[in-house]
Amino acid sequence: MSSNFPAGQSPESPSITVLSGGMGGARFLQGLLHGLRSGLLPFAPDTTVNVVANTADDLWVHGLKVCPDLDTVMYTLGDGIDPERGWGRREETWSVKEELATYGVEPTWFGLGDRDIATHLVRTQMLEAGYSLSAVTEALCQRWRPDVRLLPMTDDRVETHVAIGDAEAPSGKRVVHFQEYWVKLRAEVPAEALVFVGLDQSAPAPGVVEAITSAALVIVPPSNPVVSVGTILGVPGIREALLDTAAPVVGLSPIVGSTHVRGMAEQMLTAIGVEVSAAGVAGHYGARTQGGVLDGWLVDDQDHEQVERIRAGGVACRAVPLMMTSPEATAAMAVAAVDLVR
Ligand code: GDP
Ligand code: CA
């Protein structure tokens, strides 16, 4: 089976569509593909998996267009990821970064490795030659063969910005790019508000709406509900596609106990006033029967006491182990997700 379809062209057989952020989404996809390709799921082993990836973390740095979530998915599934860091290339070297720091060029906090820079150079050159981000992503995937059809949520520029307190600023506030909040400030200061620049005016990339409406199953993986899945749902037309699709939509909680497993979902949920719990996120996404996006929601075993409350909100729910400790454990999560909404 071809590992990548041209943007906008749909495969004929049933497909599965996943709305993904970076690390959480990529790990889930690894397990889903493991389960699917080894016949553990009630789908043909060669079923196409479409991935609609968040692009609101994207940034321009040192003149290069960097797409962290697209690259995390592409490198993880293409076996090029650094497994310890969970982002960037394995066997990476940092000569360019060191040279830039010696010149005193900002930002010094955003680390681009030498191998990784090649990806950003290809992307930037193609964008500047007039290709869309979807076309560029497809070209990059010709090398990485991620075994999914990887689609950016939009070809338009969208950026998540975070308002933080700043005693020295006249307004007492300062707005930073999401990457600065996460990488430089390590999400250690409270996020007072989130601004999704350009999101309202963006359009789904070619193939995105169709990937949702023509899928046999849509999965919301344990990605950040605010700055990964939230931004995907914020692209005008995507939420509507989820309401329209005949496919069941099932999600897996990124909150276990009362916090995220890794990342900063807790800070982001707090910033938008959503309870930091599996049930809180389920309520935030909402039941599809009531205009939300979910038919089913898996919570971790340790949150089993929230199951009834989630069911009462109109969403099918079960508690199962939700720690993505290996592709096998993650495949079992995918099997449970399918089972819940079948
Ligand atoms: P990012 O773009 O790299 O931040 O990645 P995502 O948005 O795709 O995923 C981040 C989310 O994954 C975090 O909110 C974590 O809580 C969640 N996550 C990471 N590992 C696990 C895991 O093993 N189990 C569960 N349930 N969630 C996880
Ligand atoms: Ca991300």
pLDDT of residue 5: 41
Helix (H, G, I), strand (E, B) or coil at 173: strand
Q: What is the C-alpha separation between 309 and 58, in angstroms, rounded?
A: 36
Q: Among 223, 274, 320, which is best to mutate for testing ligand 1, by the most ligand atoms less than 8 A from CB?
A: 223
Would strands 48-53 and 149-152 be described as parallel, antiparallel, or unpaired? Answer: parallel
* Measured distance between the N- and C-terminal CA atoms of the chain, rounded to whole angstroms: 26
Q: Is 234 in the pocket of ligand 1 (CB under 6 A)?
A: no
Q: Is 263 in the pocket of ligand 1 (CB under 6 A)?
A: yes
Return the percentage of the chain with pLDDT > 90, whole number.
92
User: With 70 as the cut, is the pLDDT of residue 118 above it?
Assistant: yes
CA angle 294, 157, 130 (to 5 degrees): 125
pLDDT of residue 13: 79
Nearest partner of 279 among 238, 313, 329, judged by Cα? 313
Nearest partner of 226 among 88, 341, 57, judged by Cα? 57
Interval 135-141 mean pLDDT: 98
The one-letter amino acid code at 128 reads E
How many angstroms separate the alpha carbon of residue 164 from the centre of ligand 2? Answer: 19
Interval 295-309 mean pLDDT: 98
pLDDT in tens, 170-214: 999 999 999 999 999 999 999 999 999 999 999 999 999 999 999
Return the ligand 1 atom nearest residue 68 CA.
Answer: 2
Length of the chain: 342
Confidence of residue 12 (pLDDT cuts 50, 70, 90): low
Interval 61-79 mean pLDDT: 97
Bridge partners, 4 (sequence order): none
Nearest-CA residue for ligand 1 atom 1 is 22
- Residues 6 or more apart whose CB falls under 8 angstroms from that of 51 comprise 17, 18, 20, 25, 29, 73, 148, 149, 150, 151
Q: Is 319 in the pocket of ligand 1 (CB under 6 A)?
A: no
Nearest partner of 56 among 206, 180, 228, judged by Cα? 228
All domains of the chain in start order, with CATH:
1-55+206-342 (3.40.50.10680), 57-152 (1.10.8.240), 159-197 (no CATH)
How many angstroms separate the alpha carbon of residue 99 from the centre of ligand 2? Answer: 27
Q: What is the C-alpha separation between 332 and 334, in angstroms, rounded?
A: 5
Confidence of residue 229 (pLDDT cuts 50, 70, 90): very high
Confidence of residue 11 (pLDDT cuts 50, 70, 90): very low
Q: Is 256 in the pocket of ligand 1 (CB under 6 A)?
A: yes
Nearest-CA residue for ligand 1 atom 17 is 254
- Residues 6 or more apart whose CB falls under 8 angstroms from that of 167 comprise none
Q: Is 292 in the pocket of ligand 1 (CB under 6 A)?
A: no
CB 33 within 8 A of CB 133: no
Q: What is the C-alpha separation between 319 and 305, in angstroms, rounded?
A: 9
Nearest partner of 19 among 235, 328, 340, judged by Cα? 235
At residue 109, φ and ψ (nearest 5 deg) are: -80, -15
Q: Is 184 in the pocket of ligand 1 (CB under 6 A)?
A: no
Return the percentage of the chain with pLDDT > 70, whole number.
96
Which residues line ion ligand 2, judged by CB < 5 Å?
21-22, 57, 69
Interval 91-99 mean pLDDT: 97
CB 227 within 8 A of CB 56: yes
Q: What is the C-alpha separation between 339 and 342, in angstroms, rounded?
A: 5
Q: Is 248 in the pocket of ligand 1 (CB under 6 A)?
A: no
Which of 222 and 6 is assigned the larger pLDDT? Answer: 222
Q: Is 76 in the pocket of ligand 1 (CB under 6 A)?
A: no
Confidence of residue 10 (pLDDT cuts 50, 70, 90): very low
Mean pLDDT of the chain: 95
Return the ligand 1 atom nearest residue 57 CA.
Answer: 2
**CA separation (Å) from 175 to 181, 282, 327?**
9, 29, 38
Q: Is 24 in the pocket of ligand 1 (CB under 6 A)?
A: yes
Host H or E run for residue 11: none
Q: What is the C-alpha separation between 333 and 252, in angstroms, rounded?
A: 8
